[in-house]
Structure 1
Amino acid sequence: MSIPTGPIDNPPPFGEMPTGAEVAHALDGVVLGDWDVAIVDWLARQDAPVAVTVCSLLERARAAGPHQADGGRA
């Protein structure tokens, strides 16, 4: 399973869910509260396209840092 590193214009195909390591990498360094953990557990039970897209968004937000120069699409 590979988490996309760029914008996703169409739903990712159904298939493998992100691995625990991929989800952990997307949240690396983020302190999680009890509710956060509950939501991560919920995410793990969603369809693969949903989980892959959320992990991709987290990874891209991390890569963009505090401010994205071009503003992106809102």
Structure 2
Amino acid sequence: PPPLAIPPEVGASIKTRLQDAFNTVHTMSGIKPEQIRGYGGKQVDRYTSDVSEETMAEVGDMLNAVNRDVKQSILAASNKR
């Protein structure tokens, strides 16, 4: 599931409320499984706010690897279809 990023200037009580809601939205009445979506609109089973700084750093490193050249290569390949 995708992680939750909260800006550091958000107060602790609001962070806690957001994290609790984010972690339990899949159990809330009125929420259907198909309403829980991740990046790109893909259906996910739940969200989590329990992601370590280490994991986020690893994800950041992977995203940084997708530089302009990689993006241009992807676009060029898709144009050949």
TM-score, normalised to structure 1, is 0.30
User: Normalization by structure 2: what TM-score?
Assistant: 0.28
Give the number of the structure whose alpha-carbon radius of gyration is greater. 2
Bigger RCO (CA 8 Å, 6+ sep): 1
The structure carrying a bigger helix percent of its residues is 2
